Structure 1
């Protein structure tokens, strides 16, 4: 199984989605955005949250590729923003632990 950082590095998405996510990551608020995406009262730690987000994003990307009527670009961007935000938080946390 790939580690979390490898899964994130291997994400290849259209430029428009990636740019929109990079633009929004500075406004990412874990307590608001992650709670809404994962639909949880108690938020998981960064690694667990990232695994959940990556699984959700994989399903969303499959819907995008298959041109599913249920696909929502705005929700896809929201999940990509959360992935970027959680990655930032996890890296910052791991730097403080070193």
Structure 2
């Protein structure tokens, strides 16, 4: 089992956060959204995208749990949308 798969398998988030991300995944457009989120000209593979998205999501989760003033629920849902979509692509590959 690779590192990414392990991280995805142990990831636990509040149901409401996951539901919001799941609902938003219907609007996810890989090319457009990864360019914006990761600031890359050409979207990477699903594996490469997850390698960059997972640390961002982990930092957002840390901020959420600690009640940091820098926490953005909108950004967290946005990143989780990408994580869900990229994880589907990664597992399907």
Q: If the length of structure 1 is used for normalisation, what is the TM-score? A: 0.86
How far is the alpha carbon of 1:90 from its aligned partner? 2.1
Q: Counterparts of 1:45-84 in structure 2 under 5 Å?
A: 45-84=45-84
Structure 1, gaps ≥5 residues long: none
* Counterpart mapping for 1:1-98 below 5 A: 3-92=3-92, 94=93
Distance in 1 separating the partners of 2:64 and 2:9: 20
Q: Distance in 1 between matches of 2:90 and 2:31?
A: 15
Larger Rg: 1
Normalised to the residue count of structure 2, the TM-score between the two structures is: 0.91
Instruction: Give the root-mean-square deviation of aligned CA atoms.
Output: 1.5
Q: Would you say the 8 A contact 2:63–2:70 is kept in 1? A: yes
Deviation at 1:91, TM superposition (A): 2.7
Q: Runs ≥4 in structure 1, deviation > 3 angstroms?
A: none
User: Structure 2: which 5+ runs fail to align?
Assistant: none
